[in-house]
Structure 1
Amino acid sequence: MLRFYGAVGGRRVALRPDLYEIQSVLEKPTPSEAEQVLSVPGVRAGFYLCFFGIHVLTPPVMEVLSEQARDHNGRPLDLSSALAELARRERYLALEVAGQRHNIGLKYGLLTAQLALALDGVDREKILNQIVELLAQRG
């Protein structure tokens, strides 16, 4: 699964087992790359911290992206390399949270993500009723 995600290496922040100070970032690393660059003390060997979801970025990331745009000669920019450079320039933190990942790049992935959000909200029963009605109309 490592080949599908960006991954980070670093160390846990003292007294915060869910917070990491990031020192390296690799996009879709090979197992060999991950073993060499992405170790995290306290995380079992062969296991790595992958990232996805929401990023709260500081303004310097825009400077890094601008620098990359000048050097890429029209090639697409990637956020992971910008985050790797950001980790070299300033303190970069990551928070570990429990949750479920939805791949909106897949066919119907966005729909699945929206349904999961709707079914976890206050209008769960209303949404379920609407889905049942929709399915009954299709029957």
Structure 2
Amino acid sequence: MKPVRKAIIPAAGLGTRFLPATKALAKEMLPIVDKPTIQFIIEEALASGIEDIVIVDGKSKRSIEDHFDSNPELENNLREKGKDELLKLVQETTDINLYFIRQSHPRGLGDAVLTAKSFIGDEPFVVMLGDDLMSDEVPLTKQLIDRYNTTGESTLAVMQVPHDQVSEYGVIAPEKEVEPGLHQVNTFVEKPKPEDAPSNLAIIGRYLLTPEIFEELENTKPGKGNEIQLTDAIDSLNKRQHVYAHEFKGSRYDIGSKIGFLTTNIEFGLKHPQTSEDLKAYIKELAAKLD
């Protein structure tokens, strides 16, 4: 069984929920306090043992490439001024095996994954979506890799969500719980109506997939939104080989919406050593005014 060494990070979306900010700036570069959202995803991958990462991007995403490239002028300026801590922060974003592939047309998540087929080859791999930040003692991607090392099969991350919100997600119909928190899946349903949902276990933004998924993607017809849905291809794969769902118990931050982005900044700001005390004081002052 081949080890899991590679990750795909889809980043070709237009970011329309954050217009006008994303008219010229990649959504993935919007910061949580002082760090671009995509950097959190890459750090999770590296902490999970991933060696090679491909970002599937689109037009107007050059800022992502620039962020993870070296900047000699900035580095020399920081070095000359003795700003060693800032220099370290800048340099640590460049020593990563990072590759870029362009998705020419916005044909959906399934197409974005298929675009990276040549990069992945015949190895198992993870897909990490940038709209979800995950926090746990063991990184979620590492949890999926550990499950794969036991089962040898594709495994998705799922999490319980309020039943009235299931229409925003792909949802699983669990067949049986083979281990605590590990479900063998009967079917996958993309964004069902609440009354039709088979469970409230929603697929969140981490997938560990075997390379057989590419054959399914090549044969998957466009679904909702005239896009190639990754969930549809996974459901087809599940008819050939078991696909499992790993129930995540940590903290998930949904930064794909304005309110999620704002609340995540507040929570991370309360943990950041440079902002926590001032932010706490401000929140208390604001709360007193609102009362």
Shorter-chain TM-score range: 0.5 to 0.7
1:11 aligns with 2:176: yes
1:33 aligns with 2:196: yes
Aligned to 1:20: 183
1:66 aligns with 2:218: yes
Structure 1 residues 8 and 125: alpha-carbon distance in aligned structure 2, compared to 1, 3 A threshold: same
Name the CA distance, whole Å, in 1 between partners of 2:266 and 2:255: 12
Assess if the C-alpha contact under 8 Å between 2:269 and 2:279 holds in 1.
no
Name the CA distance, whole Å, in 2 between partners of 1:27 and 1:18: 21
Q: Secondary structure at the match of 1:125?
A: coil
* Matching residue's letter, 1:17: P
Q: Tell me, which stretches of 5 or more residues in structure 2 are unaligned?
A: 1-163, 281-291
**TM-score normalized by structure 2?**
0.34
* Matching residue's letter, 2:194: P
Q: Secondary structure at the match of 1:20?
A: strand
Name the CA distance, whole Å, in 2 between partners of 1:81 and 1:67: 10
CA RMSD between the two structures:
3.2
Deviation at 1:20, TM superposition (A): 0.5
Aligned to 1:128: 276
Name the CA distance, whole Å, in 1 between partners of 2:208 and 2:265: 22
Aligned to 2:82: none
* Matching residue's letter, 2:208: V
* Matching residue's letter, 2:258: K
Name the CA distance, whole Å, in 2 between partners of 1:90 and 1:60: 9
Deviation at 1:85, TM superposition (A): 1.1
Name the CA distance, whole Å, in 2 between partners of 1:113 and 1:54: 19
Name the CA distance, whole Å, in 1 between partners of 2:266 and 2:205: 17
Q: Which protein is richer in strand relative to its size?
A: 2
Residues 68-120 of structure 1 deviation map (CA, whole Å, 9 limit, x = unaligned) = 2xx44xx3111111121121121111111212332232126456546656766
Count residues with an aligned counterpart.
117
Aligned to 2:236: 85
Name the CA distance, whole Å, in 1 between partners of 2:275 and 2:219: 46
Assess if the C-alpha contact under 8 Å between 2:269 and 2:276 holds in 1.
no
Name the CA distance, whole Å, in 2 between partners of 1:66 and 1:130: 52
Aligned to 1:95: 246
Q: Tell me, which stretches of 5 or more residues in structure 1 are unaligned?
A: 39-46, 133-139
Name the CA distance, whole Å, in 2 between partners of 1:19 and 1:115: 32
Structure 1 residues 94 and 102: alpha-carbon distance in aligned structure 2, compared to 1, 3 A threshold: same
Residues 19-66 of structure 1 deviation map (CA, whole Å, 9 limit, x = unaligned) = 1011200011123432xxx3xxxxxxxx53222121111111122111
1:49 to 194, 197, 201: 201
Structure 1 residues 96 and 59: alpha-carbon distance in aligned structure 2, compared to 1, 3 A threshold: same
